[in-house]
């Protein structure tokens, strides 16, 4: 028999993973709902999932590559911008959608109980599915450059490095999102601040420019930015040159894990009674 214990001040470090697993059907259905309802009643439907980043890439290629003539470290411009958008979009969309978990689902949370952590899990699944589509598109562009042009590209197995990179990016987005979500409950300002913050972060990451063009005195911005590590790693992977510093990789990994755990605890602490104060 299922036994529920209701108590005051549940410790913030107790997260009921078993219960979350019990609700896996809900998580699955919500993920499908988010994916299918997003583009219902639009002519192109799910095609928008790939069209949006494709159009951004084209705009970037024209504006930053052709007009502003920012270099791409010898990579084909389309691949350069597309790889940047691939990691950045995954990160930013995860962070943004997870950060609004508590505020935008208050109607639901206030009326029925289910593990509140289900929503961030749904968001990461939805974004991973979008990412998978984008990655397929990226892969087809990459194959074109690799096999049908004389651009010098490393062998295909190098592309496997994308998996740990994306895992890192997802963890970073999730950790940031959970942290912001628990803060938004107390400070609504964050909701208004977030789009600006996210834009600023994008320009502080080498998405539309290679890290090599950053002047010496701004280097630290790129150096201490956990997103730039991921973007730079992707570029190195594409070019097939450059080395990975093991201490940096380890530091990055530890950093995002600590951030995720911290975010989970903060979220868990706030979710217990947040319906009372919204």
- What minimum distance in Å lies between the beta carbon of 247 and other proteins? 36
Q: How distant is the alpha carbon of residue 38 from its chain centre?
A: 18
- What minimum distance in Å lies between the beta carbon of 162 and other proteins? 33
Helix (H, G, I), strand (E, B) or coil at 76: coil
- What minimum distance in Å lies between the beta carbon of 9 and other proteins? 7
Please report whether residue 196 would count as binding other proteins according to CB under 8 A. Answer: no
Sole window of 109-117, 121-129, 147-155, 211-219 interacting with other proteins (rule: CB under 8 A): 109-117
CB 73 within 8 A of CB 212: yes
Sole window of 93-101, 134-142, 149-157, 270-278 interacting with other proteins (rule: CB under 8 A): 270-278
CB neighbour class for 68 (10 Å; exposed up to 12, middle 13-18, buried from 19): exposed
Sole window of 44-52, 82-90, 187-195, 222-230 interacting with other proteins (rule: CB under 8 A): 187-195
- Give me the residue label for tokens 């295909």: 156
Minimum CB distance to other proteins smaller for 107 or for 215: 107
CB 91 within 8 A of CB 173: yes
CA distance 259 to 183: 14
CA distance 120 to 18: 16
Which two three-digit tokens encode residue 135?
């990655």
Which of 11, 13, 33, 250 is close enough to bind other proteins by CB under 8 A?
Answer: 33
CA distance 162 to 273: 39
Which two three-digit tokens encode residue 176?
């940031």
Which two three-digit tokens encode residue 157?
């197995």
Phi and psi at 216, nearest 5°, equal -50, -45
- What minimum distance in Å lies between the beta carbon of 17 and other proteins? 17
Which of 51, 58, 62, 108 is close enough to bind other proteins by CB under 8 A?
Answer: 108
Sole window of 62-70, 96-104, 106-114, 129-137 interacting with other proteins (rule: CB under 8 A): 106-114
Q: What is the H or E stretch that residue 174 is in?
A: helix 162-184
CA distance 40 to 17: 33
Please report whether residue 113 would count as binding other proteins according to CB under 8 A. Answer: yes
Minimum CB distance to other proteins smaller for 105 or for 248: 105
CA distance 120 to 21: 14
Sole window of 74-82, 212-220, 252-260, 269-277 interacting with other proteins (rule: CB under 8 A): 269-277
- What minimum distance in Å lies between the beta carbon of 164 and other proteins? 33
First CA to last CA distance, the chain: 34
Please report whether residue 13 would count as binding other proteins according to CB under 8 A. Answer: no
**Cα angle 79-229-196, degrees, rounded to a multiple of 5:** 85
Please list every residue from 201 through 260 that binds other proteins, using CB under 8 A.
none
- What minimum distance in Å lies between the beta carbon of 91 and other proteins? 24
Please report whether residue 107 would count as binding other proteins according to CB under 8 A. Answer: yes
Sole window of 74-82, 108-116, 166-174, 232-240 interacting with other proteins (rule: CB under 8 A): 108-116
Residues that bind other proteins (CB under 8 A): 1-10, 23, 25-26, 28-30, 33, 36-37, 40-41, 107-114, 185-190, 193, 272-273, 275-277
């Amino acid at each position: 028999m299922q036994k529920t214990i209701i108590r005051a001040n549940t410790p913030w470090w107790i997260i009921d993973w078993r219960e979350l697993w019990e609700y896996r059907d809900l998580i699955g259905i919500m993920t499908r709902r988010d994916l299918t309802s997003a583009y219902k009643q639009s002519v192109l439907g799910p095609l928008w999932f790939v069209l949006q980043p494709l159009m951004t890439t084209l705009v970037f290629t024209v504006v930053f590559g052709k007009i502003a003539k920012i270099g791409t470290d010898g990579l084909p411009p389309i691949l350069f911008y597309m790889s940047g958008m691939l990691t950045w979009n995954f990160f930013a969309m995860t962070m943004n959608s997870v950060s609004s978990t508590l505020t935008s689902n208050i109607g639901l949370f206030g009326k029925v109980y289910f593990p509140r952590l289900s929503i961030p899990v749904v968001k990461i699944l939805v974004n991973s599915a979008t990412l998978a589509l984008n990655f397929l598109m990226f892969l087809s562009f990459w194959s074109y450059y690799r096999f049908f042009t004389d651009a010098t590209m490393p062998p295909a197995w190098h592309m496997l490095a994308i998996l740990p990179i994306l895992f890192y990016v997802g963890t970073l987005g999730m950790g940031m999102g959970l942290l912001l979500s628990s803060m938004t409950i107390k400070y609504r300002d964050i909701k208004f601040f977030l789009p600006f913050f996210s834009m600023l972060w994008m320009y502080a990451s080498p998405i539309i420019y290679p890290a090599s063009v950053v002047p010496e005195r701004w280097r630290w911005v790129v150096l201490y930015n956990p997103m730039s590590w991921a973007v730079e790693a992707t570029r190195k992977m594409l070019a097939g040159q450059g080395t990975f510093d093991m201490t940096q990789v380890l530091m990055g990994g530890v950093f995002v894990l600590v951030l995720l755990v911290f975010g989970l605890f903060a979220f868990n602490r706030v979710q217990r009674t947040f319906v009372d104060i919204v």
